[in-house]
Amino acid sequence: MKIPFGTIAVSKKSRRLIDGALDTLKLSSGRLVKDFEAGFAGLVGAKEAVAVSTGTDADILALAVLHDFGAKRGDEVIIPALSFVATGNAVLHAGFKPVFVDVERHTLNIDPKKIERAITARTRAIMPVHLMGKPADMDAINRIAKKHKLFVVEDAAEAHGAVYKGRNVGTLGDMAAYSLYIAHIITTIEGGIVTTNRPEFAEVLRSLRSHGRACKCRVCVVNTCGALCEKRFSYGEGSDIRFVFERIGYSCKMNELEAAVGLGSLDTYKKIIAKRRKNLLSMIAKFRKFAPWLTTIKEEKHEQIGPHAFAVILGEKAPFSRNELGVYLEKNGIETRHLFSSMPTQCPGFAFLKHKLGDFPNAEYIGNKGLHIGVHQDLGMRHVDYFIRKVEEFLAGKGIKF
């Protein structure tokens, strides 16, 4: 049996929309992107959504918005030490310094008890990551942010469908950045999107994704229906608003073909979430018997984990390595991925920040002892049972009884 890590399906609706876009040759960001943004915002429950070309760009632009609201280059953003490297990269690309805080082993998320000691006069924002779709402790984070007058930007890359105390992830801070990569629940193949309830943030996001130009209307009449833009020559004598650049920007618009895939993905969202959650919750329940040799995250009463993937963490006294387990699973058709790394101490690209091994013990432990496998909608109970059976066989081969 094969258990691939991820899957993607391009719906019949998406294929029709792609064919239509190809026929009209209107392929850059336009009507389909606008429709996708509106659909995504409605699904999450946010007032605004701004689509971009990758999830990393979503992180970058959400942070870069803060330059319009008092932040300066070189200011600090607090992030968890454990995440996919895009989180740390985004802070630097947005012109800030990442300040890392260790995580809790049992949640994989930033430890709120350690945040305040990391705050300085240069801190401007906290970017919690809902790793593996498990919501971070947003009540505690928001209390700290309010006390210190900081922005909160959720890295919700893996958190499609996650719910925290009755509220959707993506509506719990000032902004939230999602990935729409192929392994994610809503996908545009590549792509990302930022949600916010603050229209002034959305305006700046639309400017930033297109070089920082003064064009920032929610609906661009030129791109969506080819009409004359009444604002185009109103910026000043001799000016064309499309060539007025108000801020340092980026070039990361979503195109129409990607949006077409995303629109089809929105239609199947509830069905896919249900399938993936069934797989995830079944794995969590069946995995309990492997403790203390192997553990995973838990779903608490106040939350719903977004079913991105299934985390596996080796216990401290496990008589085997992560690679031994990973190789065994791979040989039996079960694709695995490492559960990321401590960015400041296990990723060479961040060595210039001068952190040392031991600074973030929990993140480093997960970086050495964690992996994850898929729970996607093409899997079912027979795949779950096969995975559990292979773990049983592996542990039995190590002389472990349970």
pLDDT at residue 176, as a whole number: 98
Cβ–Cβ under 8 Å, residues 303 and 162: yes
Q: 218 falls in which pLDDT band (50, 70, 90)? A: confident
Least confident of 3-7, 213-217, 253-257, 309-313: 213-217
The percentage of residues in the chain with a pLDDT greater than 90, rounded to a whole number, is 90
The DSSP result for 262-325, as a single string, is HHHHHHTHHHHHHHHHHHHHHHHHHHGGGTTTEE-----TTEE---SEEEEEE-TT-SS-HHHH
- 345-369 confidence digits (pLDDT tens): 999 999 999 999 999 999 999 999 9
> Residues, the chain, total?
402
Q: SS3 for 178? A: strand
Q: 221 falls in which pLDDT band (50, 70, 90)? A: low
Least confident of 52-66, 115-129, 223-237, 251-265: 223-237
pTM, two decimal places: 0.94
Distance, in Å, from the CA atom of 193 to the CA atom of 164, rounded to the nearest integer, reads 20
Domains of the chain, by residue range, sit at 12-267, 269-397
Alpha helix stretches (DSSP H) within 156-268: 199-208, 221-225, 256-267
Using the predicted structure, report yes or no on whether residue 164 has a pLDDT greater than 70. yes
pLDDT at residue 183, as a whole number: 87
Q: 338 falls in which pLDDT band (50, 70, 90)? A: very high
pLDDT at residue 222, as a whole number: 65
pLDDT at residue 145, as a whole number: 98
Using the predicted structure, report yes or no on whether residue 226 has a pLDDT greater than 70. no
CATH of 12-267, one of 3.60.15.10, 3.90.800.10, 3.40.50.10540, 3.40.640.10: 3.40.640.10
Which of residues 230 and 38 earns the better pLDDT score?
A: 38
Q: What is the 3-state secondary structure (H, E, C) of 368-384?
A: HHEEEEECCCCCCHHHH
- Does the domain at 269-397 match CATH 3.30.460.80? Answer given as no
Which of residues 222 and 46 earns the better pLDDT score?
A: 46
Q: 238 falls in which pLDDT band (50, 70, 90)? A: low
Using the predicted structure, report yes or no on whether residue 159 has a pLDDT greater than 80. yes
Q: 237 exposed, middle or buried (CB, 10 Å; 0-12, 13-18, 19+)?
A: exposed
